[in-house]
Chain A
Amino acid sequence: MIGIFQAKIKMFIRSPWVFVMMTAMSIGFALIIGGTGAYTAITVPVYTTSEGIQNSIIGDILEDSDTYTFVWSSEAEVMEQLSSNKAEAGAALGEDNFQMIVGVETPSAKIIEQTIEEAYAKQAQYEHIVAASGATTVAGQKAILDELQASIAAPVFNIEVENFRGEDAFIYDNTFQTLFGFTLFFAIYTIAYNVLPILVEKKEGIWDRIILSPVKKWEMYVANLVYSFLVGYLQVGIIFSVFRFIIGVDFHGRFIETLLLMSVYVFAIVALSILLTAIVKTVAQFNAVLPIIAVSSAMIGGAYWPLEIVESKFLITLSKLNPITYGMEMLNGAVVYQYPLKELLFPISILLLMGVVFIGIGIHLMERRHI
């Protein structure tokens, strides 16, 4: 087993090009499309009819957004920006409600709308709390608000704060969306191409040679699985480390957790690759099928754009069978939503289950079909 493993490592070191390319592409795409949150924020012009909004909680929340830069403008400016296509969407903010001003219906517009909606929802919640606290003086109310703000900003969330967030509030963070999306997407290629040699070795008779040797069947599979897992995991580790330590994306303090969670995803993808390798008959078929699977999974799994904006029932159902969906859910849950591990157990167990089932079926198929 160790021998097989060593041979694989040797060959990997000798031609690491697929690996290097996929890693570089993940980093490159995530950087170009996602940016690091600082300079790619989309500008959204807004105007208001009521003076107080800009300094209210709504104003604060909008200004805090990482994804969008809300620019206070006049109505005329907003219209001008939209008609000249300088902005995708704008909004008119009222006291208790707002109106979207949209040039063309785009995914971003939807997300902007959700972002603003959320700000209003928060404001309402704050008001309820302040009202419930019974503070009557302006100073007293302000103290409570400050306390609230502070507890939200604090890195450790307590139950109290969690309640503040509505069940299905949707946070869109472009940096992590693209970083996670492209990492999950390109990892499929790296892993699949490191599982593929099983097929090649079977065809070429290397596998038969090993079968005739004292090496056990399970050792052959374990060596291959462990190797593919490690290569996939190494790639993820490199990508995340580059973003964490070189580019300076902070993962909201959950870098280690993110890495650990990725092991589950990598495992599921190794399993998927085994299944794929068992189903196809030739390398050519594999080469044809892999991009279809990878790209379509990425599309319906929310790697390219957030699943939250997908409306088709059919696609949503399909996404439930897709490891990327759960990978994104897990990573976004951990980093963007800051969920505790307990709340991530669902996607984690689905991925583990998928892994076990895929490997089971995959190995069964491989064993049944000789050569």
Chain B
Amino acid sequence: MLELVDLSKKFKHMYAVKNLNMFIEKGEIIGLLGPNGAGKSTAISMLSSLIEPTEGDVRFHNKSIIKNPAPLRKIIGVVPQEIALYEDLTAEENLQFFGKIYRLKGQLLKRKVDEVLEQIGLTDRRRDIVKTFSGGMKRRLNIGVAMLHEPELIIMDEPTVGIDPQSRNYILETVKRLNQEKQMTVLYTSHYMEEVEYLCDRIYIMDKGNMIASGTKDEIKRILSAEKTILIQAELLNDTFINFLHENPTINRVIKEEKEITIMVPKEINIFPILVKMAEDAKIELNSVDIKIPTLEDVFLHLTGRALRD
């Protein structure tokens, strides 16, 4: 349905997005994953015709939308990363406004507004001014506004940042339900692995403007099949120990956090005795050494050597 071909966007001298290739089919939930500044929002702005790419093309049903965005605009709904609402109007008035600009009116508008309020769970707050809403409620309304005109494709840019787990689950459920009940196609952007893992059929991973992996969940996790991820916990981690880890040629990656270290090693290597020896030499005490089931987070770690959230 929608295809991005070698899409790039350059701001001044820096590429925010570089040679991005991507496609979305009807009825899918696609995840777009990446840390802060990866270029997700920029990619979304290009594919929803809000900014012009420096290079490449966005094709909707095989026709470029760069010169003629109208057919695409008709069927998409965009949930922007920032709350884009009139803070001085009530929830209901916001929905009415955005409904009206989509040419909804009269009974139909009223029905759609009621329906969306129900879906986002704000029916009993409908007459309250948005300014008085909590962050999570604003987020929900921000999503609701994009659903009014029943878009075939909804594009959500980090719809869950900064809200409590309850609201977050509510949003995730809503997205899943819309996809199942209304066959709405979803492009879901996030830097939370769990969300993308839970929701999405296929996943794209971006970092620093580049696409670093793509495929179904399983395909992506298979990237890790040659490696295993090991989590080391210890009291008083010292530099000597860390240096040992870095110096060891069989250890591919070392990522240090406060009280734990994640390392990646080839599957066939038995690393336990080596670790124990290192700990002895560095005079530290290991609390635990675990092999982790690979998650998307690990995939990211593997691909970039950095944690997704720092």
Contact = CB atoms under 8 A, between A and B. Distances in A.
B51 A210 contact: no
A209 B86 contact: no
Contacts of B58: none
Interface in B27-48: 48
A213 B82 contact: no
Given A3-B100, A213-B98, A370-B50, 4 more contacts: A205-B80, A209-B145, A214-B73, A214-B102
A212 interface: yes
9 contacts: A10-B93, A14-B88, A15-B88, A204-B85, A206-B86, A208-B84, A210-B101, A213-B101, A370-B50
B80 A208 contact: yes
Nearest to B142: A205
Interface string B65-86: 0000000011010101011111
Interface string A1-41: 01110110011001100000000000000000000000000
Given A204-B84, A205-B80, A205-B82, A212 B97 contact: no
B93 A7 contact: yes
Contacts of B76: 212
Given A3-B97, A7-B93, A213-B102, A206 B50 contact: no
Interface of B: 48-51, 73-74, 76, 78, 80, 82-86, 88-89, 93, 97-98, 100-103, 145-146
A50 to B, nearest CB: 70
A14 B127 CA distance: 14
State the main secondary structure of chain A at its contact with B. helix
A276 to B, nearest CB: 22
B82 A7 contact: no
Contacts of B50: 208, 211-212, 370
Contact of B103 (A204, A208, A214): A214
A234 interface: no
A204 B87 CA distance: 11
By Cβ-Cβ distance, the 3 closest A-B pairs, closest first, are A205-B84, A3-B100, A205-B80
B88 A209 contact: no
Interface string A208-232: 1111111100000000000000000
Contacts of A11: 86, 88-89
Contacts of B51: 370
Nearest to A2: B100
A209 B143 CA distance: 12
Given A10-B89, A10-B93, A212 B82 contact: no
A14 B89 CA distance: 8
Nearest to A214: B103
Contacts of A15: 88
Contact of A206 (B48, B85, B100, B102): B85
Nearest to A8: B86
Looking at B49, B51, B80, B97, the one whose CB has the most chain A CB atoms below 10 A away is B97
Contacts of B101: 3-4, 209-210, 213-215
Contact of B84 (A206, A213, A370): A206
A212 B76 CA distance: 8
Given A204-B82, A204-B84, A370-B51, A209 B98 contact: yes
A209 B84 contact: yes
A264 B83 CA distance: 37
A302 B73 CA distance: 50
A366 B17 CA distance: 24
Nearest to A12: B88
Contacts of B100: 2-3, 6
Nearest to B100: A3
Contact of A7 (B73, B86, B103): B86
Contacts of A370: 50-51
Nearest to B85: A206
A214 B73 CA distance: 8
A206 B88 CA distance: 13
A306 to B, nearest CB: 41
Contacts of A6: 97, 100
A309 B192 CA distance: 68
A3 B103 CA distance: 9
B109 to A, nearest CB: 10
A215 B74 CA distance: 11
Contacts of A210: 101
A239 to B, nearest CB: 25
A212 B73 contact: yes
B126 to A, nearest CB: 15
A6 B88 CA distance: 13
A211 B84 CA distance: 13
